[in-house]
Structure 1
Amino acid sequence: MTSAPMKTAQSTVDVVGIDCRFPAADSPEDFWDLLVRGEHGVSAVPPQRWSIDDFYDPDGGPGRANTRFAGFIDDPETFDCEFFGIAPVEAKAMDIQQRMVLHTVWRALENAGLDPRSVRGSDTGVFVGVMSSDWGTLHLADYAGMSAQRGVGNGFCMIANRVSYQLDLRGPSLAVDTACSSSLVAVHMAASALRNRECDTAVVVGVNLMLTPALSVFYTQAGLSATDGRCRPFSGNGGGIGRGEGVGAVVLRRSEDRPDDAPEPYALIAGSAVGQDGRSNGLTAPTRWGQERVMTRALAAANRTAEDLDFIEGHGTGTTLGDMVEVRALRGIVAGEPTRTRILGSVKGNIGHCEGAAGIAGFIKACLALDKRIVPPTLFADEENPQLDLASHGLRLAVGAERLGRGQLYAGVSSFGLGGTNAHVVLASPERTRRPKGKGTLGVLTVTANNGDALARNLAAVSAGIEANDWLRQCYSSNHVKSGLGVRIAIPATGASALLETLAQADRRAAAATKTPRGARIVFAFTGQGAQYRRMCVDLMHRLPAFGTHLQDVDSALAEITGSSIIAAIESGTDAQGRSLDDTAVSQPALFAVQIALVRTFADFGVRPAAVIGHSVGEFAAAVCAGRMAFTEAARLVSARGEAMQAVARGGAMLAADCGYDTALALAESIDGAGIAAVNGPSSVVFAGAADAVDTIAEKLRADGVRVKALTVSHAFHSALMAPARAAVRDAAAQVTAGADDAVRLPMASTVTGALLEPGDLTPEYWARQVTEPVLFDRAARALADLRPTHVVEIGPRGVLSGILRASAALPDSTILTPIPGEKSDGLEFAATLASLWESGVDIGWSALYDRGDHRIRRLPGYVFSDGERFLVSAASAGLTAPVRAVAGQHPGRPAKTVASTTDPAQTDPSSVHSAVTAVLGDIGDYRPADLRPDQDLRDDLGFDSITIMQFADRIAPRLGLAAAPGPEQLHSDIRTVGELVELVTTLMKENQR
């Protein structure tokens, strides 16, 4: 008797991410290809699993299996322990299923359009379906070899808990064991948790691994095992169950929470249910009524009927009884005579019965089928069991791959547990939304990894998937999915062909990359007058929407002050009054506008300076950026300054010379009418004054072999000839700076004083002095050295200060970046500046780089983990009766780690604290002490946790003769790196000696 249907449909849940490894299929793409081609992954038992001759008997005698075949995955023992910061000693002690799940969950999150690091600390839930652990069978009975790591490395709960711990997920975390239905029950539980708002994202996993023949023997003895190791679902030649293994993970999220830029979901969970057979005719015997009941409830939860289903992914093991019961249950959920036939299939024909992972395998198959609107063929459809009478039940098997129709599609997925716990999920196809692509032309492809080799490996994988017609969305996707790890590379481009060309040459740079340093300190350097030119930054306005928007906003604000449009002057070369862009009254507000727009644009990307410096008129935008002047006040003052300087009678000259300050000062003092206008570097000065006086200086310097260059200017700026403008600037400053709050904000190096500004320095007199006194740029830049800036970014339309700083070496440890180098700048340099900052550890908010139409995450290739580390103990390598401890510390391809011999006294001297600390760390973590670096993070890089903390404390004390071991609270405190641990132990040694 079935229950009454529910009255209210469940809210839908998106299936947003998928990853899997099944027999003959190492990825979702491979899995789909296997299904569509109608192939299988069944093979003979690999010799490294167990010796089949010791356990095989075609007649299925006691303690023997009747088959030599099953569905196996390749190399399950490979594990990138370094990536997850898990010590080798712990990796050896972990159930291989834990390792498989870690890899798969990471890739599933990426497939969902999420950077796995971005979900740290979130309430993401982890639900793992699993029904056996051969690893635990082999290890937990070896009492002599028991260790703390082995204890926590086993247990079903620890598979889920390991994921939550490693990724720092705070939502529900549990393992589900309902035998064969475990992972589909986990799907139901995860969907329920989402609907109940116990979590906002859920990861569901199913995993199964065959390391011993235990269940093969059980199935044989229970009369359930197929002699050829093949499941033949709904076939007349079905001879029983063929085993399979693998791992699959899906990421779920409430449909109502779908982000605008998220990838299209594969499918929607419309409803689901779980139930039990109750007291059937045997604990392991299925009942039609139990299956019918759970399917009815799931359909009701989805507000659907069986007539709505387009296909059904059945449990279908190929056993005569099981298939018959399932078909009759399916017939029972159809009210009256079926009006159409539905396709019936079972993934077990392709990969075997994956036990704890069987449900997730069928679920993933159904999701992919809805996504592609194709149902793969049902293997053995040509051998259909006539006793099932499928046609009269409204069912049929797919002989080949069949394309589904248009409109909303529905699918049912069943999974029935050996002990009677049944699950059914109703899936729906999502509504597809087409978005026109954006009109942007700038993109930056980002890839991260945990070391250089991994970076090169993953860069190659991402590069191989670049599509010329969608490269911008792929760049956008990489920024959001592939940017969270410590070793980085960024490739800026203005087109697909340029991107591919750069990628082809980037492998060596990627391989040589190292961990990104922390704590970038950026200086913004604001260019002075003379950098302007017609159409400056116009291309950037069109290529970078954010910059164009900010420049228009600044232009509107300035137009209320100046009475004309700065953008119009930039584009045409003259303002509304017909004045040239090179006229002081026009150029100074124009430079100010461009600089403020650039500052605001960088802020959109999350790039903000730690200090500023401005060259002459550049000080106005610098002061705004530093928070020492309000934008409106600075705009009024820079406009007044330009007008006042424009009003000064034209005349005078300026001369750039490659000579030192002392030489320049002596010359200037010896010739009336000339002075020093700027000191840009140790051998770079600018003279200004009366034309004849400046000409005389030029002749003297040329005679001494000094290179000089006459500057094209309207006035002798920063000289006594500009004195008539001082009073007007002072008066204007008195109006706009009254009451200005210039309490300590960002440090600002003054090119008037050559020192860092103090609170209250920006007085009207300061701005008056700035008109006639020399620009002490070199001295001001050197005043910033104590702040230890890592980068200097020039803020202006031309690379002027960049060259000065490189030549002067005033900030030798800073990377100099020029986002707009000059007239031919096409925006690529701006993107390259962001790329360089990001590679150096600055967190960039990339969205502002792209047109809104390109804000769509595309699925990229999953992370390519290292396969160089192998940790395998199986029945073949351990022996079912031999002590596991004898081999548990070894694995193929990885030599046992010992203290390396070296000539470095710090490593060989037994009394060296450094040597002792690294030796103990190497011993407890199975690291080579010589490989341990002071900057390595104990937790993230070496897996230093509560267990290893206790082990370290216990071992370091006797090694160094400490009276007392360091307390766990000391090691748990702020000790983050190997070097800090050495310092702590050194301190304890000194205290011990007292």
Structure 2
Amino acid sequence: MTTPGRAEPIAIVGMSVLFPGAPDLATYWHNLVSGVDAITDVPPGRWDADEHYAPGAEPRADRVYCRRGGFVDELAEVDVTEFGIMPAAVPATEPDQLIALRVAAQALADAGGADRLPADRHRVGVVLGRGGYLTPGLVRLDQRVRTASQLVRTLGELLPDLGADRLEAVRQAFTDRLGPEAPESSIGLVPNLAASRLAGRLDLRGPAYTVDAACASSLIAVDHAVRELADGRCDVMLAGGVHHCHDITFWSVFSQLGALSPSERIRPFHKGADGVLIGEGTGVVVLKRLADAERAGDRIYAAITGTGVASDGRTTSLMAPDSGGQVRAVRQAWQAAGLDPAAPGSIGLLEAHGTATPAGDGAELATLAEVFGPPPKDATADEPGAVIGSVKSMIGHTMPAAGIAGLIKAALAVHHGVLPPTLHCDEPHPALARTRFAPISAARPWPADDRQPVRRAAVNAFGFGGINAHVVLEQVAVTRAAQVYEPERVLRLTAPTPEAMAALLDRDDSAILAAGLDERAPAPAADPVRLAVVGPTAKRLALARKAVAKGDGWRGRGDVWFVPSPLLGPGGGKLAFVFPGLEAEFVPNSEDVARHFGLPWSRAVADATVGDVGRQGTGVFELGRLLDAALRRLGVAPDALAGHSLGEWTAMAAAEIHAPDEVDAFLAGFDPDALSVPGLAFAAIGAPAEQVLTELAGRTDVVLSHDNAPNQSMICGPEPAVAALVDVFRSRALISQILPFRSGFHTPMLEPYLGPIRKAAETYTLHPAALPLWSATTVAPYPEEPAAIRDLFVRHLLEPVRFRPLVDTMYAAGFRAFVQLGAGHLGSLIGDTLHGRAHLVVAAHSPNRSGLPQLHRVASALWADGAASDLSPLLGRAAAAPARTGRRPVRLDLGGANVSLDAETRHRVSAALAPRRAPATPPPRDVGDHGDHGTLGEQGLLGAELSALLRDATALASDVVSAGRRRPGAAAATHHTRATPGSRTTAVPGPRTTEPPRPAPSTPPSTCPSTPCRTSSTTASSSSPTGPTPPTAGPWSPAPP
């Protein structure tokens, strides 16, 4: 089956996506295998369906006959501060550039993180497929520059008495609705910056550029990346595609071409397929040479073994697909792979271009029949020679990103050994019977067997204008353990009594696991006695039987939790999240949590250095926010928050006392050295605070800074004095040691250095805590008044941390479970304080275990003690909507320039435009109906802000008619022409006007950079016995997208 000349295989080691219904890779795969249809009606922010959707109406450039597609509006959120971009710059930046940055960063995280990239970043590059369409930022700029000027000019021509001031008021009101001008950010509208911005923010110094090959763009980007690796110029390449254009002009092109589905369903390879639905999205893959990936122990989704690119050449039409070019691209890829595509078992899955247009599907099926041959003799409907699919049936046609959507789908299928279904193909195209391929309607296992020894897939992407791309990829045999996380299973059982639980365990291990191992199902019934076992091996099940037989509580030893009487739940105790501060050790190792849930992972966490107050403090803060967000994804809801030392700042953010972007801005501009007090030292003393204070009596140079636990306190002062006291306590057999911190926190010695902190506190916009937040300074909940919060914010740094009294007080208030959200040993301080009293302490971070396995244990422990927790998100079922993270990502505006004034602005502009003359006499009844101009805001881009102005125009015309009738011998006037210096001769509408003049259409999409499209500008209305002739748009011929 192989042929000579096989190219060097390229491994896919990381992937990420943002597609309709899928904010991340795990959700995308879940949707693929579950057959989720993510097609919806167009969101109001994209374009006004009431204005443009007109099925069955006479064709016109501003009308479309379809309003359904794939959209990501609710998912388009980016934590731009993570990449050093200020939120204020976002409105003037193309959204697709920021989405590409987010998805690329997630793909790198999926590949193991930036630490696994080459040290020489010149060996890392990026190529993105992106079209030259009218994207949201460019549409708004065009409206600001061109449409606003045309609007004002046209109004001036129609109503010259308005004058420059009132016309400027209209222009200003119109442009204000487009958002603030940001000249310094306008560079963000340059199209090729989609790749350049990514390279700059991620420090990738190899080639970084975009390619535009219409719908084949992203697969051709992959082809370029493969060549960079094969030629040895790079060691790692990012490749993908991005498309986030749903402007009405883009839809207009497809509507005029008749390519949209009149039935508003996209049905690839269905015999009744009638057109495409437009989607959007971004996908990125991380590529390495296979040999390099295997040496590094990377997780490999699949290997790309061949790519092919070819054009149709001369054909009957530029727009008609031709199978000749497609055949050449497919054969070229299989030749590069060293394989015969027609050989038995050569392919198991063909992810087709599958646009669901009759011409497109027909040409593609002809290509498949010619290259791969007819169906094998033993093929049946249930066991076809190979499966054909198209993800467009679920997310729509994502244009330049279509190829990468298909490639990632195929790679996941190869990796997981599952064939995903295709939707809406219950009656297949007749030409499918002449191929070896058949669609499936439900996911199926895809084992490697005698018929197909290696799972192999191929992907098509065919672009308008005849550019074709094909990629072959296959399963890679595992030669060493990949350094990735595979979810642990958790056994959960409930029973009414310990004896009943023992009976449940008195069975074979297999029967026990069958009863309670499915985390995807709802949690077992709420019986009081609970058992949870993480990774239930035979050894751990034996331990569980022993724990149950004893009948006492067993919390966590050997990864077993047995609780006969839960502490939490209805009528039980409360749960607190507790955030640690600076610790002598900081091993964050939770990047897998960020990657799994698609949450921000700040470089500050990885860069944190113990002893460096600023950097470690920022790392502690970011890690705490990450774990807080992850636990909330698991359905864990605390009753209150608290913090130790600087952990109280993290708790304030989690309680939403101040806005996350204000915290981020403070951290971004924070000078770590500003809070380092020279010459000071901290020491930990193994004695209660009372004993330490007795030793410090009468001294002012050394003070108690922390009352941590019954047998742990901390002191601070000049290093020689602290060192001497350490020797004193050691001489009394009390464990004592100098700590690697020099900040002076929680002592009066910090007072002279608090300028930046006081300044920040004054600028914060403060709110009462969203849930109770306890202070370790006052040993009480935080106040609600902003002034009191600011005062406590500063006092917190000048007074001792009273953590032991805080824990005692919270316990007295009913708190029985404490979850540590961060690194260190804060949980042990709580355990020491509550020794002998019923309580639960569990850490969401462990220095000996990565983040996701530790979250399994936290969720299991809390569930066993009666709290609500959902384990399914740990298995790839994370909710699509982002959980509150403390730092709010910026929601991107993916709409264009659907301008409409709010009521206040409309009133202000209408008042400014009021005619400066006596009110006109109402016209006689026989003049005619002037129409209801109050509905204009729902008809055109000028919106409701012009309705008052048009009423003025109608009244003016009525005055002219009345005046004409009063002149002797004058006939009834039908129009009035008035010239003013420096203006054109302008026709003023007469009394029989039934439709107000409309603005020029927006610029159509520039789908071919070398072929500019044409538009007509609005002209003055001409005389007519029946009123003015409405402006007519000039012809324009779109180049193929």
Instruction: Classify 1:127/1:778 alpha carbon distance in 2 versus 1 (closer, same or farther; 3 Å).
Output: closer
DSSP 3-state at the match of 1:275: strand
> Which of 268, 276, 280 lines up with 2:303 in the alignment?
268
Structure 2: segments with no counterpart, 5+ residues: 147-174, 176-180, 380-384, 485-522, 524-531, 537-557, 560-586, 596-600, 606-617, 644-649, 654-662, 686-690, 705-715, 751-796, 802-819, 829-844, 855-873, 901-938, 946-1041
| Aligned residue among 484, 487, 491 for 2:603 | 484
Q: Which residue is 2:17 aligned to?
A: 20
Q: Does 1:245 align with 2:280?
A: yes
Indicate the SS of the match to 2:81.
Answer: coil
Q: Is the 8 A contact 1:782 1:811 kept in 2?
A: no
Distance 1:848 1:335, change over 3 A: same
Work out the number of aligned pairs and report it. Answer: 591
1:874 has 2:895 as partner: yes
**C-alpha displacement of 1:200:** 2.2
Q: Quick check: 1:172–1:198 contact (8 Å CA) kept in 2?
A: no
1:316 lines up with 2:354 in the alignment: yes
Determine what percentage of the aligned residue pairs are the same residue: 28
Paired residue type of 2:18: R
Contact 2:137 2:896 in 1 (8 A): no
1:279 to 301, 314, 319: 314
- Which one-letter code corresponds to 2:140 in the other structure? H
**1:329 pairs with 2:373:** no
What SS does the corresponding residue of 1:153 show, helix, strand or coil?
helix
SS at match of 1:297: helix
Matches of 1:351 and 1:187, distance apart in 2: 21
441, 453, 471: which one aligns with 1:425:
471
Q: What's the CA shift for 1:94?
A: 1.0
Counterpart for residue 1003 of structure 2: none
3-state secondary structure, aligned to 1:328: helix
Residue 270 of structure 2 corresponds to residue 231 of structure 1? no
How far apart, in 1, do the equivalents of 2:224 and 2:35 lie? 32
Question: CA offset at residue 415 of structure 1?
Answer: 0.3
Letter in 2 for 1:402: R
Q: Partner residue of 2:52? A: 55
Over 3 Å counting, the alpha-carbon distance change for 1:92 and 1:33 in structure 2 is: same
Task: Tell me what 1:362 maps to.
Answer: 406
For 2:438 and 2:591, how far apart are their aligned partners in 1?
41
The answer (yes or no) to whether the contact 1:477–1:859 under 8 Å persists in 2 is: no
Once residues 681 and 304 of structure 2 are traced to their aligned partners in structure 1, the CA distance between those partners, rounded to angstroms, is: 52
1:139 — aligned with what? 140
2:433 to 388, 391, 408: 391
Q: Residues 114 and 480 of structure 1 are in contact (CA less than 8 Å); yes or no, is this contact kept in structure 2?
A: no
Q: Does 1:180 align with 2:215?
A: yes
Contact 2:11–2:288 (CA under 8 A) maintained in structure 1 = yes
5 Å matches for 1:605-754? none
- How many angstroms does 1:658 deviate by? 11
Q: Which residue is equivalent to 1:449?
A: none
Once the two structures are superposed, the pairs formed by residues 911-990 of structure 1 within 5 Å of their partners are: none
Partner secondary structure for residue 604 of structure 2: coil
Q: How does 1:375-390 map to 2 (within 5 A)?
A: 375-386=419-430, 388=431, 390=432
Amino acid at match of 1:69: R
Q: Which has the larger radius of gyration?
A: 1
Aligned to 2:41: 44
Inter-CA distance 413–873: structure 2 relative to 1 (3 Å threshold)? closer
| Cα displacement string for residues 533-587 of structure 1 (whole angstroms, at most 9, x for unaligned residues) | xxxxxxxxxxxxxxxxxxxxxxxxxxxxxxxxxxxxxxxxxxxxxxxxxxxxxxx
Matched, 1:291 2:326: yes
Distance 1:216 1:422 in 2: 23
Q: Is the 8 A contact 1:160 1:173 kept in 2?
A: yes
**Cα deviation, residue 305, structure 1:** 2.3
| CA pair 831-24 structure 1, distance change in 2 beyond 3 A | closer
Shift of 1:326: 0.9
Distance 1:191 1:782, change over 3 A: farther
Counterparts in 2 of 1:778 and 1:279: CA distance versus 1, 3 Å: closer
- CA shift, 1:477, in A, is 5.4
Quick check: 1:311–1:411 contact (8 Å CA) kept in 2? Answer: yes
Alignment of 1:355-504 (within 5 A): 355-386=399-430, 388=431, 390-406=432-448, 407-432=453-478, 435=481, 468-469=534-535, 475=589, 478=592, 482=601, 484-485=603-604, 487-489=618-620
1:156 deviates by 2.3
- Give distance in 1, aligned partners of 2:60 and 2:697: 101
Alpha-carbon distance in 2 for matches of 1:795, 1:435: 48
User: Which amino acid is 1:24 matched to?
Assistant: G
Rounded to whole Å, the distance in 1 between the matches of 2:362 and 2:136 is: 35
Structure 1 counterpart of 2:504: none
- Structure 2 CA distance for partners of 1:383 and 1:802, relative to 1, 3 Å: same
- Give the AA of the match of 1:190: A
Match of residue 824 from structure 2: 832
Relative to structure 1, the CA distance from residue 315 to residue 116 in structure 2 (aligned partners, 3 Å threshold; closer, same or farther) is farther
Residue 119 of structure 1 contacts residue 169 of structure 1 at CA under 8 Å; is this kept in 2?
no
Partner of 2:389: 345
Greater mean deviation of Cα atoms: 60-69 or 861-870: 861-870
Normalising by structure 1, we get a TM-score of 0.50
Shift of 1:397: 1.2
Q: Deviations over 1:402-422 (max 9, x none)?
A: 211125210000100111111
Q: Distance in 2 between matches of 1:379 and 1:660?
A: 77
Q: 1:314 to 1:810 in 2, by over 3 A?
A: closer
Residues 939-976 of structure 1, C-alpha deviations (whole Å, 9 max, x = no match): xxxxxxxxxxxxxxxxxxxxxxxxxxxxxxxxxxxxxx
Across the aligned residues of Structure 1 and Structure 2, the Cα RMSD in angstroms comes to 5.6
Q: Distance in 2 between matches of 1:511 and 1:378?
A: 46
Distance 2:684 2:890 in 1: 53
State the distance in 2 between where 1:130 and 1:241 align: 19
Give the TM-score, by structure 2 length: 0.48
- By how many angstroms is 1:868 displaced? 5.9
Structure 1 residue 157: Cα displacement: 0.2
CA distance in 1, matches of 2:93, 2:740: 54
Q: Which residue of 2 aligns with 1:800?
A: 735
Structure 1's 61 and 411: CA in aligned 2 closer, same or farther, altered over 3 A?
same
Q: Describe the shift of the 1:870–1:613 C-alpha distance in structure 2 as closer, same or farther (beyond 3 A).
A: closer
Amino acid at match of 2:898: S
SS at match of 1:67: coil
Partner amino acid, structure 1, of 2:619: R
SS of 1:83's equivalent in the other structure is helix
Specify whether residues 28 and 659 from structure 1 end up closer, same or farther in structure 2 by C-alpha distance, changes over 3 A only. closer
Give the conservation status (yes or no) of the 8 Å contact 2:684–2:737: no
Which sections of structure 1, spanning at least 5 residues, go unmatched?
Answer: 439-463, 524-608, 616-655, 664-678, 685-776, 786-790, 818-827, 837-845, 887-994
How far did residue 171 of structure 1 move? 1.6
Aligned mates of 1:346, 1:374 — CA distance in 2: 15
Aligned pairs for 1:746-895 within 5 A: 781-782=720-721, 800-802=735-737, 832=824, 869-872=890-893, 874-875=895-896, 877-878=898-899
Alignment-mate amino acid for residue 878 of structure 1: V
1:217 counterpart SS class: helix
The answer as to whether partners of 1:275 and 1:293 remain within 8 angstroms in 2 is: yes
Offset at 1:659? 9.8
Residue 205 (structure 1) aligned with residue 240 (structure 2): yes
Structure 1 residues 49-102: Cα deviation after superposition (integer angstroms, max 9, x where no partner):
111232223246021212121122233664433333323442111112122222
Deviates more, 1:178-187 or 1:874-883: 874-883
Per the alignment, do residues 436 and 871 of structure 1 end up closer, same or farther by CA in structure 2, a change over 3 Å counting? Answer: closer
User: Secondary structure of the equivalent of 1:248?
Assistant: strand
